[in-house]
């Protein structure tokens, strides 16, 4: 045990195993269990059988009695050519256990396919670095996660912890198990989260808002008294009293002003929807500045991309855009203007004007009878 060290694969590459045994009153705590684990690890790494290497209960107990203080630790290291026994202080006294341990999860994910998994090997550098990082963060230890199943289990633990904190602060969750809330999310009291809600990034939710079901908000700010139903929002701003969905999509830089609405199957990108304005159904609004009190009919689109560049649309206060209207940017629709349904608008519309941009309807009597359509056999 005091022989000169041999520079073998254990010292050079970490192909070795170890056990750290707590010592109390001259005896190794759970010594037999430590030796049994060491024997399994030694066999897995082809380091030989313990008795043949001089590692027996009697030998280790004798070393402990001779060299280890009453409250200390005995470390046993085994490589291909080396057997090392040493004593060191034990930092874990009764007061530490009485106080409890503060831990979090390590960001380092172990390789669960490695043959070293499940063994205390000398490949221990990541553990030392994470222990130091935990100490720097005011914690005692960090927990490593090995498999995808363990990652999922840890996620559920953290999810439950975060959700419990929000509920204790006054947030209502219909089904906490289906609410996924990121650690940086801020939620005001009296917010109601329906099932299947994901709040990610630095999302904030104002009081008295209802979010869900089936909604995902990322880095989005939601004001007070909003209703968010089956909505995906990314880097969006939703002011007080605005409503989204069901099945709305707010892309980055979408801004719903106070009381505005983005309704069913509506996509908004890099646009401001003014106070009280409505985009209720089946529309795409992109690169648009919309004033207050505007109504956009179902199926309307701001055609903002010409194949090379994006262009802006301006819709001023109080304008009414009929259903199935194509607004080909760059274009401005003046305040109080009315655009007839089915129009394609390619020029600016004067405030207060009626704009129609569609083909005149024609009707030819008797055409169907004169041109019968034969069904193919």
Q: Is 281 a catalytic residue?
A: yes
pLDDT beyond 60 at 1: no
When pLDDT is averaged across residues 256-262 and rounded to a whole number, the result is: 98
Q: Tell me what pLDDT residue 222 has.
A: 98
The pTM is what?
0.70
pLDDT beyond 90 at 274: yes
Residues composing the chain:
377
pLDDT in tens, 163-175: 999 999 999 999 9
Q: Tell me what pLDDT residue 61 has.
A: 95
Domains in the chain, CATH or no CATH each: 13-88 (3.30.470.10), 101-146 (no CATH), 172-355 (2.160.10.10)
Higher pLDDT, 116 or 261: 261
Q: Is the dihedral of CA 49, 54, 59, 64 positive or negative?
A: negative
pLDDT beyond 90 at 146: no
**Residue 341 tokens, joined:** 């349904």
- Band of the pLDDT at 21, cuts 50, 70, 90? very high
Q: Tell me what pLDDT residue 247 has.
A: 96
pLDDT beyond 90 at 112: no
pLDDT in tens, 220-252: 999 999 999 999 999 999 999 999 999 999 999
Instruction: Decide: 83 and 50 in contact? Cβ < 8 Å.
Output: no
Contacts of 172 (CB under 8 A, 6+ apart): 190, 191, 192, 193
Instruction: Decide: 168 and 150 in contact? Cβ < 8 Å.
Output: no
Taking alpha carbons only, the member of 103, 106, 62 closest to residue 85 is 62
d(CA 114, CA 146): 10
pLDDT beyond 90 at 355: yes
pLDDT beyond 80 at 100: yes
CB half-sphere exposure, 302, CA atoms < 13 A:
29
- Region of 331 (left: φ > 0; alpha: ψ -120 to 50; beta: rest) is beta
Q: Tell me what pLDDT residue 246 has.
A: 97
pLDDT beyond 90 at 64: yes
Out of 27, 265, 281, 311, which one is annotated catalytic?
281
Q: Tell me what pLDDT residue 96 has.
A: 81
Residue % of the chain over a pLDDT of 90: 79
d(CA 290, CA 61): 82
When pLDDT is averaged across residues 336-348 and rounded to a whole number, the result is: 96
Other C-beta atoms lying within 10 Å of the C-beta of residue 365: 7
Residue % of the chain over a pLDDT of 70: 99
Instruction: Decide: 132 and 56 in contact? Cβ < 8 Å.
Output: no
Q: Tell me what pLDDT residue 2 has.
A: 55
Taking alpha carbons only, the member of 235, 175, 183, 252 closest to residue 211 is 175
d(CA 174, CA 130): 37
Q: Tell me what pLDDT residue 132 has.
A: 93
């Amino acid at each position: 045990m005091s022989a000169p060290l041999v520079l073998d694969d254990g010292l050079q590459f970490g192909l070795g195993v170890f056990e750290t045994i707590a010592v109390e009153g001259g005896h190794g705590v759970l010594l037999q269990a430590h030796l049994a684990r060491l024997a399994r690890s030694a066999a897995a790494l082809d380091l030989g059988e313990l008795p043949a290497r001089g590692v027996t209960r009697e030998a280790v107990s004798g070393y402990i009695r001779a060299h280890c203080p009453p409250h200390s630790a005995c470390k046993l290291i085994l490589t291909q050519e080396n057997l090392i026994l040493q004593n060191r202080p034990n930092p874990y006294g009764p007061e530490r256990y009485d106080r409890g341990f503060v831990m979090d999860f390590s960001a380092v994910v172990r390789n669960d396919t490695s043959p070293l998994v499940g063994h205390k090997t000398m490949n221990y550098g990541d553990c030392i670095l994470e222990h130091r990082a935990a100490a720097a963060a005011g914690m005692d230890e960090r927990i490593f996660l090995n498999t995808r199943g363990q990652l999922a289990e840890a996620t559920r633990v953290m999810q439950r912890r975060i959700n419990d904190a929000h509920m204790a602060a006054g947030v209502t969750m219909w089904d906490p198990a289906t609410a996924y809330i990121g650690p940086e999310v801020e939620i005001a009291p009296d917010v109601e989260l329906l099932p299947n809600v994901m709040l990610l990034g630095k999302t904030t939710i104002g009081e008295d808002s209802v979010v869900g079901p089936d909604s995902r908000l990322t880095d989005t700010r939601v004001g007070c008294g909003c209703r968010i139903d089956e909505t995906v929002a990314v880097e969006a701003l939703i002011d007080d009293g605005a409503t989204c969905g069901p099945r709305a999509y707010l892309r980055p830089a979408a801004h719903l002003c106070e009381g505005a609405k983005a309704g069913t199957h509506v996509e908004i990108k890099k646009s401001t929807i003014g106070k009280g304005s409505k985009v209720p159904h089946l529309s795409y609004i992109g690169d648009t500045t919309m004033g207050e009190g505007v109504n956009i009919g179902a199926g309307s689109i701001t055609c903002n991309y010409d194949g090379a560049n994006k262009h802006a649309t301006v819709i001023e206060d109080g304008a009414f855009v009929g259903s199935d209207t194509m607004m080909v940017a760059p274009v401005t629709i003046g305040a109080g203007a009315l655009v007839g349904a089915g129009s394609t608008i390619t020029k600016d519309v004067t405030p207060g004007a009626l704009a129609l941009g569609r083909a005149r309807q024609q009707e030819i009597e008797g055409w169907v009878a004169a041109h019968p359509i034969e069904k193919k056999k």
